């Protein structure tokens, strides 16, 4: 979700709490109206409410990126657990097959008049003890010794696989808990932001929306493009443009809704490039270039914590998923402090 204004009236940039430029403008308008005696009595608290909404949106976006990361890790761990369970099943089949072979030997020896002590140990309560003892017996044959060694190895590998699978299951549960905690954080902040927005008049809400789209003093004058984007960047940009108007949905990566990094990942997937899930990871998913050399298709990463990302489209504009309640849209590249530019 994006934030698009500076809260400090001096123009000093800092990690914004979202849509801060409009808050400054509205503060100035309120002050001017008060000087003229025209400001309504309830106007004073509004800028504070809008600033608080900005802060909540920014913090919710940070939590959203943490949620995306936890969900990405959960998915990876879930796959690893599945593969581990498959390996355990195959290893168990090997163990069972070896035990059946040794059991057949025991049956043959019983029918011939007795069971070799080495084979009899197969049916002991402690297979590991059996294997240790069987390896030292003189009466064990070469073929039986080979099978015993294989069984010992298979049992040890099975134990190791199960230990690793248990650790992955523990990690998976931890990742699920982390995702749930981040989800609660996001939902709480968004609920509070909606409550504050609902407390504003229709006119103030409209002004808030207009301020989030205004370039104002944050417009950056960038040099003319030196060339067309490459084929992959062009494909990603074309895909992103098809998402215009689709809603911001936190934790989503399309196609019906997106958060900021989800839109970038979805768009570049159409170009055959698999980006990482979060904006913090996406800033390293390619070659870093200075903002003065930005080209269409480049990823523009915002804030010092890299908690928001957009795609440059040219002419000083980016396309991005701004925040809940706002659809995918164009905004000025200088809508908030740029921390880096990455060319995938």
Answer yes or no: 260 catalytic: yes
**Residue from 260, 270, 315, 323 carrying the catalytic annotation:** 260
Among 81, 61, 68, which Cα is nearest to 172's?
Answer: 81
Q: Using CA atoms in the order 208, 214, 216, 218, what is the torsion angle rounded to 10 degrees? A: 100
Burial class (CB in 10 A: 0-12, 13-18, 19+), 194: middle
Task: Sort strands 317-320 and 329-332 into parallel, antiparallel or unpaired.
Answer: antiparallel
**Residue from 46, 182, 320, 323 carrying the catalytic annotation:** 320
Among 295, 245, 234, which Cα is nearest to 268's?
Answer: 234
| Residue owning tokens 């990405």 | 72
CA–CA gap between residue 172 and residue 75 (Å, rounded)? 9
Answer yes or no: 159 catalytic: no
CA–CA gap between residue 289 and residue 340 (Å, rounded)? 8
**Residue from 27, 308, 315, 323 carrying the catalytic annotation:** 308
Beta-sheet strand order (sheet of 317-320): 287-289, 338-343, 299-302, 308-314, 317-320, 329-332
Among 254, 309, 299, which Cα is nearest to 61's?
Answer: 309
Reported as type and span, the H/E element at residue 34 is: helix 20-35
Catalytically annotated residues: 260, 308, 320
């Amino acid at each position: 979700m994006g934030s698009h204004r500076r809260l400090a009236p001096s123009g000093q940039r800092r990690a914004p709490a979202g849509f801060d430029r409009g808050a400054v403008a509205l503060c100035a308008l309120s002050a001017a109206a008060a000087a003229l005696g025209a400001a309504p009595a309830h106007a004073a608290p509004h800028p504070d409410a809008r600033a608080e909404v900005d802060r909540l949106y920014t913090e919710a976006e940070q939590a959203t990126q943490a949620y995306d990361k936890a969900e990405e890790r959960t998915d990876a761990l879930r796959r690893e657990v599945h593969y581990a369970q498959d390996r355990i099943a195959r290893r168990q089949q090997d163990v069972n097959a070896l035990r059946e072979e040794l059991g057949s030997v025991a049956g043959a020896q019983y029918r011939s008049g007795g069971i070799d002590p080495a084979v009899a140990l197969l049916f002991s309560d402690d297979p590991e003890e059996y294997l240790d003892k069987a390896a030292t017996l003189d009466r064990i044959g070469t073929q039986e010794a080979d099978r015993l060694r294989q069984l010992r190895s298979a049992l040890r590998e099975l134990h190791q696989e199960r230990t690793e699978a248990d650790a992955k299951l523990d990690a998976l549960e931890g990742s699920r808990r982390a995702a749930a905690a981040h989800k609660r954080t996001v939902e709480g902040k968004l609920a509070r932001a909606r409550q504050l927005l609902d407390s504003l008049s229709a006119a103030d809400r409209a002004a808030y929306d207009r301020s989030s789209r205004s370039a104002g003093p944050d417009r950056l004058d960038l040099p003319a493009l030196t060339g067309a984007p490459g084929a992959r960047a062009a494909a990603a940009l074309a895909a992103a443009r098809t998402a215009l108007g689709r809603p911001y949905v936190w934790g989503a990566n399309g196609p019906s809704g997106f958060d900021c990094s989800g839109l970038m990942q979805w768009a570049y997937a159409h170009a055959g490039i698999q980006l990482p899930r979060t904006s913090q990871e996406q800033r390293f998913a390619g070659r870093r270039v200075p903002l003065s050399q930005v080209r269409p298709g480049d990823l523009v990463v915002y804030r010092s914590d890299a908690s928001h990302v957009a795609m440059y489209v040219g002419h000083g504009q980016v396309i991005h998923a701004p925040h809940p309640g706002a659809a995918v849209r164009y905004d000025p590249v200088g809508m908030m402090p740029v921390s880096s530019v990455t060319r995938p």
